[in-house]
């Protein structure tokens, strides 16, 4: 439990050291594969190492390759913008969830979607599928123009660094709900597929606790925008997969993913 990105001005030096040792010195090094390699860090990571943490040759760090491997490493060379590390012994990263969960999240307004990406990565999702629904206020073209997918990928890497995972979840190409919906019924053959809706949206919607959910290797959870699903979208969901609610209260759209992931990971004994 600690703050994200900014170094908290901790009450004592020991805590600060603990924080640095655990969080600040992990770097994303996608080229790291095995001990003994000399690998260059991506530009963002090199700048974090050189300019923010002011580390130099000989510093001991950790690197993870985003595919589950984590290593001790030593800074071997730094220039103004580049950093190379010597990959050392392999070490354990935070355990990945047994169920590979894809979060299909309706794109939220402003920087709310950034927060959802950050939190979903921390919670342990395997992938995030941005979705444009009827009541989403941006278009696929706007997301493309604003290079939102690249932005979310950077946020996913930053959150992976913070939470101790060695796997960077994939940010999938945004799709419309109309394009996603026909893929859901086939997906249910191998994955748990759940669409989360507000209480009272339809009589056919069940509370999550009413389902007998066994862990499956894969799961997809689908979460709507601030304005909720349209009745047509709920109908499409009911025909393709299970539509569920979480309690009788109206939950904020930007917190729903964390609530749903916590509920599912509890149900599947991941916690």
Kindly list the residues in this chain that would bind a second copy in the complex (CB under 8 A).
1-4, 8-12, 15, 18-19, 22-23, 94-95, 97, 109, 112, 119, 122-124, 134-137, 162-165, 196-199, 207-209, 223-228, 230, 246-256, 258-260, 262-263, 265-267, 269-271
By C-beta, is 199 or 217 nearer to a second copy? 199
**CB contact at 8 A, 101 and 124:** yes
By C-beta, is 128 or 223 nearer to a second copy? 223
Nearest to 31 by CA among 83, 100, 102, 79: 83
Nearest to 64 by CA among 92, 29, 94: 29
CB of 154 to a second copy, least distance (A): 17
List Cα–Cα distances, 91 to 34, 49, 71, 102, 223, in angstroms. Answer: 11, 20, 5, 26, 35
CB of 23 to a second copy, least distance (A): 7
Q: Which residues contact 21 (CB under 8 A, 6 or more apart)?
A: none
Q: Which residues contact 67 (CB under 8 A, 6 or more apart)?
A: 30, 166, 167, 168
CB of 189 to a second copy, least distance (A): 26
CB of 254 to a second copy, least distance (A): 8
Between CA 258 and CA 120 the distance in angstroms is: 6
Between CA 36 and CA 76 the distance in angstroms is: 12
Nearest to 65 by CA among 156, 153, 165: 165
The Cβ of residue 144 has, within 10 Å, a number of other Cβ atoms equal to 12
Length of the chain in terms of residues written: 271
Report helix, strand or coil for 190.
coil
By C-beta, is 26 or 148 nearer to a second copy? 26
Between CA 255 and CA 231 the distance in angstroms is: 22
By C-beta, is 63 or 256 nearer to a second copy? 256
By C-beta, is 78 or 136 nearer to a second copy? 136
By C-beta, is 46 or 197 nearer to a second copy? 197
Q: Locate all alpha helices (DSSP H) within the chain, ordered by sequence.
A: 13-19, 43-47, 112-123, 140-145, 148-163, 177-187, 231-240, 253-267
By C-beta, is 156 or 223 nearer to a second copy? 223
CB of 108 to a second copy, least distance (A): 8
By C-beta, is 47 or 262 nearer to a second copy? 262
């Amino acid at each position: 439990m600690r703050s994200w990105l900014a170094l908290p001005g901790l009450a004592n030096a020991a805590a600060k050291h603990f924080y640095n040792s655990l969080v600040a010195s992990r770097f994303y090094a996608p080229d790291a594969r095995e001990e003994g390699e000399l690998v260059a860090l991506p530009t963002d990571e090199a700048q974090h190492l050189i300019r923010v943490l002011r580390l130099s040759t000989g510093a001991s760090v950790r690197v993870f390759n985003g595919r589950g491997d984590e290593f001790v490493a030593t800074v071997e060379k730094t220039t103004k913008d580049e950093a190379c590390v010597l990959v050392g012994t392999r070490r354990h990263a935070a355990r990945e969830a047994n169920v590979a969960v894809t979060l299909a999240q309706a794109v939220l307004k402003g920087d709310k979607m950034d927060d959802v990406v950050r939190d979903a990565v921390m919670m342990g999702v395997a992938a995030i599928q941005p979705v444009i629904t009827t009541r989403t206020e941006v278009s696929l073209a706007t997301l493309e123009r604003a290079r939102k997918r690249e932005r979310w990928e950077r946020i996913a890497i930053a959150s992976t660094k913070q939470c101790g995972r060695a796997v960077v979840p994939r940010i999938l190409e945004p799709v419309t709900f109309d394009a996603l919906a026909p893929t859901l019924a086939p997906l249910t053959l191998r994955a748990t597929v759940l669409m989360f809706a507000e209480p009272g949206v339809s009589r056919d919607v069940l509370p999550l606790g009413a389902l007998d959910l066994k862990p499956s290797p894969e799961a997809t959870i689908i979460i709507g925008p601030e304005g909720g699903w349209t009745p047509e979208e709920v109908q499409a969901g009911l025909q393709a997969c299970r539509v569920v609610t979480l309690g009788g209260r109206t939950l904020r759209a930007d917190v729903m993913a964390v609530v749903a992931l916590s509920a599912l990971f509890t149900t599947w004994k991941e916690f």
